[in-house]
Amino acid sequence: MASSHSNTHTEAAKLEQIITEFFYKSLLIILESRSPYVSSRNYSGEQIMSSPSSSSSSSSGVRPRDKWFNLALRECPSALENFDLCRQSNFEPVVIDVILEQKQLDWDPVTFSPKSDLVKHSSSKDKNSFFWNSDQEESGCEAKGEKVIERWFVQHESRKGRDCSSGSRRSSSNNLSALYKKLILLLRSLYVTVRLLPAYKIFRDLNSSGQIRAFKLVPRVSSSVESFTQKEEAEMQRFWFTPVDTSCGRLCLSVLYRSSISDISSESSTPMSPQFIPDYVGSPLTDPLRRFPSLPVSQGSPSSLPFSRRHSWSFDRYKASPPSVSFSPSPTHSESHALVSNPSSRRAPPMSLPPHPPGASLPHKKNTNFDEYWPSPNFSASPSPSPSPSPSPSPPIRIPGGHLSKALLRSESAPVNIPVRKLAGSPALSCKQNLPPSPPLKISRADISWTDNNMGPMKSGATIEKLFSFGKGDGQKYSGVNSPRTSFFRSSSRSIQDDFDDSEVPCPFDVEYDDMDPGSRPESYDRRGNPSDPNEAGLFMNRKSQDAAVGALVQMLKKAPPLRQDIPSSINFSEASRPEMWNNNIQEQNQNTEAVTVEHDASSIITSSRLVASMTTADALEELRSYKEMKNLLLSEGDM
Amino acid sequence: MNCEVCQLKELEVEHFEIREVLRCILHTIVFHRALGLVRPKDVDLELFEITYVQCGDVELEKKIDEKIDHFISWVEKHPNKKSQICLSFYEVKSKQPSWFTNKTERLYWEQWYINLNVTQHPKHHSSKSHHTKLVVDPGESATEERSSRRAMVEASLREVLFQIIKFVNEKKDHVPPISEGVIYFPYEITIPSSSDSAFGMDMIKRMLHSGHPTMLS
């Protein structure tokens, strides 16, 4: 008797323990899959590493409580806290509300997981009930952005008129084993079910996503809650787990859940999706003058200005350019002038390009306005692009060695003329000699906008093409009147063609100086490919005055190789004389023919010198005489 | 002890979905029948928004994958066919040896039939429902149809999983008692063999071994 009594007591105790642990386990399974950041999901790595089956002997990874129902889970603090309080009850029903809560500014992380301020009160029902208020602050805040998306019911329904102790007589170990097995199955299915319900997706997203969500999942454990309204319940679905009979009742597990949670979560979430900011500070859209080296042509313009655009980016041509090229007398153009003249600066990325055309040293300022507006793809592209930081377009003007004319003419829009003029220019090249005020090229200094001068992309392009065509066909016609310009244009037309042939000249503003002088064009072409004297072009660029040019020529002659190899020296001489001749050509219209003549003479000398394999004294004397004549000519012209 | 049989709802899947679907279903069933001490492992499907649970046994996972590979090979040889995979749980009981039986006997106490309808590759013509007909040419309609089809497969898979849960909940009595140290009950995965007749023979053999008529639920 005593033994049976003790057995009964033992069985009852065991049953009670089983039921208690069932409560705890079900609470754990639900909470750990609904409380982000404390879920066993985060410890999946450890799960893989340590399998209970392998570690059962060591039991290092399995706590005693994990062995209950043969389901080893990570401990969930919130579940533990709530359960510890629950242990005092006699299998009171446990209601777990999973609440989708809108995050507030003063969100308290503490409220994220259900903390407990135990508030014990008696419900209207006969049972004693505990009420775990997970967050006191949120009590009564149901209406504030909270939505119960799941409600779990875990309860043990006792059989009326029976208590477990009396029923325990029937509870044999077999029954307990069967009960235990069934509860294992129940908890297995619970574990799978919580992961199939819609709320798990939210939980998973909150756990894994790095997005800042505007909502949170708050499981709230309580004993009694307000029933849902009919409307609310209609929106929810219920899933019943098959109750498991015990000796004194049955264990019931069910859930009310919303099937359409994704709508709620998507509405309340504000993920920070990447957005492209097209008009950031410094973007080409906001700063058209700022070019990126990777961009061959900027937006829009190149299509309209094929010629110009092509050469805007060729930095290489500016290698030998002297540091200062007086393209514009305007102080505002100093930077751009420097840019043109300075190869290094020209090679700088477009963003670093100075806003103004280079060469502020030239005296004449009449057409400085042109200098301010070095053509840039954006300029011509946009009808009203006030070049924001400066009027000058960003692309550098390349002035390759020996291609000064081309370089100057490459700048298709107004600035095209500037280098020409400037170069011609020397101080003697006054503004009067400036290019005729053609609409596309005449840009007043105050006139920053291209539009005022009809420098829309199409117009500028058309203008440039017109200019080229003009230069081609009519260059000669205008040589006497607007010779400086037209001659350049004429030469530029050819030079541009050459530039197109030259893969090294993508920049539309590449100024080719080879063809500055139409008369010398053949020779220039011949010598164009000869980079033997890059310094010559540099000297050309540097010449700011006739005197300087002469001085440079004299120096060149002094440094010329001996007559033994008369070819190079003669070439040097002729090439040295060329800029001077070009300058003269620009300066004086009447001297065009003379310049051409001189040029022809020089070229003839070069040709002849090349053919001579060996020099005789007579030849040498004759050559010397010709040199002297040229020198005198140059000196005489310089004095003029 | 009865042999409980559960015929799961037929799933229409594409070839590339077979592996994930089968893994999900098989592991879910086995997890419910791995009544030994387990540390569950959550696995997120890549093709669907479903998380299933494995019991965490590496060997079990490997065996299941092997069977899935065999099944996929069979499907490739027998395209456009309805197929069935049988997951059986049995008890090993010793029996008096006789001239036609072995010493040990497999007592099947539960059988799960996973019914799959593997649709053809989109490039091939499929005579199945319009859900499986995929447009080869890219376009919004094809993408939409694909995504809707994918959603349908996901919903069907979810239904199958709930079907498993319900079955497990409703029928518990036939489950044998848990043995010490045993993680999961002995199981057997049967895939269709090269011929249907052979598959049928396997069924007959099983019935002979189990000694109980197959009960369709």
Residue among A52, A195, A244 whose CB faces B38 most closely: A52
pLDDT score recorded for residue A453:
46
Contact check, Cβ <8 Å, A181/B175: yes
Segment among A28-42, A394-408, B172-186 with least mean pLDDT: A394-408
> Which of B169, B179, B180 is best to mutate for the A interface (most A CBs within 10 A)?
B169
For residues A504-532, average pLDDT: 45
Q: What is the mean pLDDT of residues A261-272?
A: 57
**Homologous superfamily, domain A1-36+67-104+146-158+174-262:** HORMA domain (3.30.900.10)
Most confident of A127-131, A170-174, A177-181, B157-161: B157-161
Per DSSP, which regions of A387-469 are E strands? none
Interchain contact, B56 vs A193, CB within 8 Å:
no
d(CA A456, CA A19): 86
Of the given ranges (A607-616, B94-103, B172-181), which has the lowest mean pLDDT?
A: A607-616
Helix (H, G, I), strand (E, B) or coil at A156: strand
Using a CB-CB distance cutoff of 8 angstroms, which residues of chain A are in contact with residue B31?
188, 191-192
Strand-pairing partners, residue A132, are: A118
Please check the confidence at residue A237 and state whether its pLDDT lies above 80.
yes
pLDDT at A379: 40
**What is the DSSP annotation of A60-103?**
SS--GGGGGGGB-----HHHHHHHHHHTTSSS--EEEEEEEEE-
Instruction: Give the model's pLDDT for residue A351.
Output: 45
- pLDDT value at A95 more than 80: yes
Which residues are A253's β-sheet partners? Answer: A154, A241
Decide if A613 touches B, using CB distance below 8 A: no
Cα A370 from Cα A444, distance rounded (Å): 7
Cβ-based burial of B88 (10 A; exposed 0-12, middle 13-18, buried ≥19): buried
Question: CB of B165 within 8 Å of any CB in chain A?
Answer: yes
CB contact under 8 A, B169 and A67: no
What pLDDT shows up at residue B157? Answer: 95
Residue A32 has pLDDT above 80, yes or no: yes
A242–B contact, CB cutoff 8 A: yes
Pairing state between β B104-118 and B11-13 = parallel
Architecture of domain B4-215 in this structure: 2-Layer Sandwich (3.30)
Q: pTM score > 0.90 for this model?
A: no
Residues with Cβ within 8 Å of residue A401, at least 6 apart in sequence: A317, A319, A320, A321, A513, A531, A533, A534, A535, A536, A537, A538
Boundaries of every domain in chain B: 4-215
What pLDDT is stored for residue A558 in this prediction? 85
Tell which wins on pLDDT, A547 or B65.
B65
B26-65 residue pLDDT tens:
999 999 999 998 999 999 999 999 999 999 889 999 999 9
Q: Given an 8 Å threshold on Cβ–Cβ distance, is B168 in contact with A188?
A: yes
**pLDDT (0 to 100) of residue A557:** 86
**B52 has a chain A CB within 8 A of its CB:** yes
Say yes or no to pLDDT of A448 above 50: no
B 132-161 residues with CB < 8 A to A: 158, 161
pLDDT for residue A610: 56
CB contact at 8 A, A73 and A29: yes
Which two three-digit tokens encode residue A112? 């994220």
Going B35 to B39 to B45 to B50, the CA torsion angle's sign is positive
Choose between A350 and A154: higher pLDDT.
A154
Summarised one tens digit per residue, pLDDT across range A314-337 is 444 444 444 444 444 444 444 444
pLDDT at A209: 66
CA–CA gap between residue B140 and residue B142 (Å, rounded): 5
> Which pLDDT belongs to residue A120?
32
What are the tens digits of pLDDT across the range B65-120? 999 999 999 998 888 888 999 999 998 887 666 676 667 788 899 999 999 998 87
Chain A partners of B176 at a C-beta cutoff of 8 Å?
A: none
Q: Is A204 near chain B, with CB under 8 Å?
A: yes
Answer yes or no: is pLDDT of B210 > 90: no
Count CB pairs under 8 A between chains A and B.
Answer: 104
Confidence of residue A67 (pLDDT cuts 50, 70, 90): confident
Q: Kindly report the CA angle at B126 between B125 and B128, in degrees rounded to 5? A: 160
| Mean pLDDT of the region A351-363 | 45
Q: State residue A611's pLDDT score.
A: 57
Share of chain A above pLDDT 70, in %: 31
Instruction: Please determine, for residue A80, whether its predicted confidence score (pLDDT) is greater than 70.
Output: no
Task: Kindly indicate the confidence band of residue B142, based on its pLDDT and cuts at 50, 70 and 90.
Answer: confident
Token pair for residue A463? 């203008």
Look at B184 and A384; give whichever has higher pLDDT. B184
Q: What is the ipTM of this complex?
A: 0.84
Q: Which residue of A has its CA nearest to B162?
A: A193
Confidence label for B18 from pLDDT (cuts 50, 70 and 90): very high
A121 or A346, greater pLDDT: A346
Cα torsion A533, A537, A542, A543: sign: positive
Q: What is the pLDDT of residue A290?
A: 59
- CB distance from A184 to chain B under 8 Å? yes
Distance of alpha carbon A196 from the chain centroid:
41
pLDDT of residue B206: 62
Say what the pLDDT of residue A404 is. 46
Whether chain A has a CB inside 8 Å of the CB on B1: the answer is no
